[in-house]
Amino acid sequence: MTLHMTISSFQKQLTTQITDFLATKVISESSKQAYAYDLKQFATSISGQIDQTSLKLYENQLKEWKPSVQKRKRSAVNQFLLYLYQKGELEKFFKLSETVTIPSQEDKLQILDLSSLYEGREGVGKLACLLILELGLLPSEILELDWADIDLDFGVVTVAKGSTKRVLRLEADVKQYLLAIKDVNSQGLLLGKVYTRQWLYKQIQTYVSDCGLSNVTAQVLRQQFILRQIEKGTGAFELARLLGLKSPVTLEKYYKT
């Protein structure tokens, strides 16, 4: 049997496999709980199929964790993948890289030339990239965005996060793009229907790769939004509001550079 099926059945199958895998581990209860936590997080990040592409996207997400946490998660996932292969659940053996690459502060905090993102083919990947780069949105916020939240006459979009809402001004490029696609889909969710974050990450990764920017991720695009706002003179408290943050504490490193 291969792990290639509908998202719901895949998640159920993977959850069962994680339980079976943990039952084979002769380790302390605390260690077993750590394994369970890491593997459940891995399971929610993978949608529909375990393959080189989905694992690459998962590795990109790992960059957001501290090196020590990255190393622990990589080890747990690699052991699980080996288990699945040995049980015949995977037709091919996959393995995450065990090397934790830490980008230098200069690499992370410099403004990049991303002009090619505006020139690529139309589609969800391009729309998502522009919404992150121009508005600082999270992929999860894009997935929940409804056409009713977008006022193209006034050029603003309202983003709800919990009990709070923030109103963001649409930049010219994003506004023109939305105007161009509104006639095709102007009802319901912006993307047309409910999708998973994994699916959207894959659309973003495919698009940036097509634009010759394979090292750019959703996280990098959000960082670029931050850097560009600082270059414009946006203060820390205002930038925190634009990003939907409760305080500007996590932005301090950008202002110190």
What are all long-range contacts of 112-120, with beta carbons under 8 Å and residues at least 24 apart? 112/216, 112/220, 112/224, 114/213, 114/216, 114/221, 114/224, 116/211, 116/212, 116/213, 117/207, 117/208, 117/211, 117/213, 118/173, 119/211, 120/207, 120/210, 120/211
Any bridge partners for residue 167, and if so which? 158
The token pair at 150 is 């977008």
Which entry of 126, 197, 202, 222 is annotated as an active-site residue?
A: 222
Which entry of 66, 95, 161, 253 is annotated as an active-site residue?
A: 161
Write phi, then psi, for 121 (nearest 5 degrees): -65, 150
Residue 121 among the catalytic residues:
no
Residue 222 among the catalytic residues:
yes
Write phi, then psi, for 165 (nearest 5 degrees): -135, 145
The token pair at 240 is 């925190």
- How many CB atoms are closer than 10 A to CB 116? 13
Residue 37 among the catalytic residues:
no
Which entry of 71, 72, 182, 254 is annotated as an active-site residue?
A: 254
Active site residues: 161, 222, 254
